[in-house]
Structure formats: structure tokens, C-alpha cells
Structure 1
Amino acid sequence: MPNSKMLHVGTGLTADACEVLGAPRAILLTQDANGVITLYSHGFKSHAHINSVLSVGIHANLTDHDRFVELGAAGEDAARVALSL
């Protein structure tokens, strides 16, 4: 869990992103040098809604990754895995 200053900064950045992008809600994920992942959000009413949005984001990311693998643009490790399937 980030300290209160970092929590304030992360929450502020997420709110700023909403304003700049004209979006009612945003999620910001960060990972520090120790691998600790922190989630910041703005505009959501519940964790269930955040989880729903994150699951759609994971699906979109995996779909993009699959497309990059098919195009040969996902790197050597991904190509090896794709060939082994």
C-alpha cells in the first residue's frame, strides 16, 4: 500500500486523466521497483465495476497480443510459444 502522499498523487493523476480525456472513470495501475502493484481509480462506485472494466481490459490486451503474435511482432518468446501450440 502506498503512503498517503503517493496515494494522493496517484488518485490525483487518475482524476486528471479523466478530465483531460473527457472520461467519466479511469484506472491507473503502477508497479514499483519491488514489484508491488498499486491500483488507483476515479469515478467508480464499486469494486465490482472496477473489476468488470479490468477484465475487459485484460481481454483487449490478450486480443492485441494474439494479433501481434500472428503478425510476428510480439517477439521471439511469443513466436516460440505460438508455434508450440
Structure 2
Amino acid sequence: MAIAQKQQKVTFNLPSDLKEKLIEMKKEYGISLSAIYTEALKEYIRKKEKEKWRKAAQKAKNDYLDDKDLAEFSSIDGDEFYEY
């Protein structure tokens, strides 16, 4: 069962041609403009969060490769590696 989320009204400006395309989509898919905006914003946020994590992972990788003390761990001798 879906839990109803509190909704807030927002106002923003769009270029006229984009608004016209959204109205066409609304009619074609039989959904509200609010549903289109919500879906688009959720996707935008998901994309930006993924991009942020990707950048952080790349930075961590670069930090690891640039730090000679950490890089030594990548060449662990099999005799010194213990499996639990």
C-alpha cells in the first residue's frame, strides 16, 4: 500500500515551447502536469546524486593511487593475506 506524501505547491517559470511539449505529453499519456514535473524532478535528483557518488568514488580512487602508503596494499603478498 502506498503511503500518501505531503504535497506542497510550487511555482516556477518555463520556456513557452517546453510548456507546450509538456501539455502535449499530458494529453498523450493522460497524466497531470504535476505528475510529469514530479517524475522529471525525481529523475533529475537521482541523476545528480549518482553523479555526485561517481565523482566521490573517482576522487577516493585517485587519492588511493596517489598515496604511496595506501598503494602498497594493492601488492599484498599471498603469504601475508589471511582469509577468515
The TM-score, its normalising length taken from structure 1, stands at 0.35
Higher Rg of the two aligned structures: 2
Higher strand share: 1
Bigger relative contact order (CA 8 A; separation at least 6): 1
The TM-score, its normalising length taken from structure 2, stands at 0.35
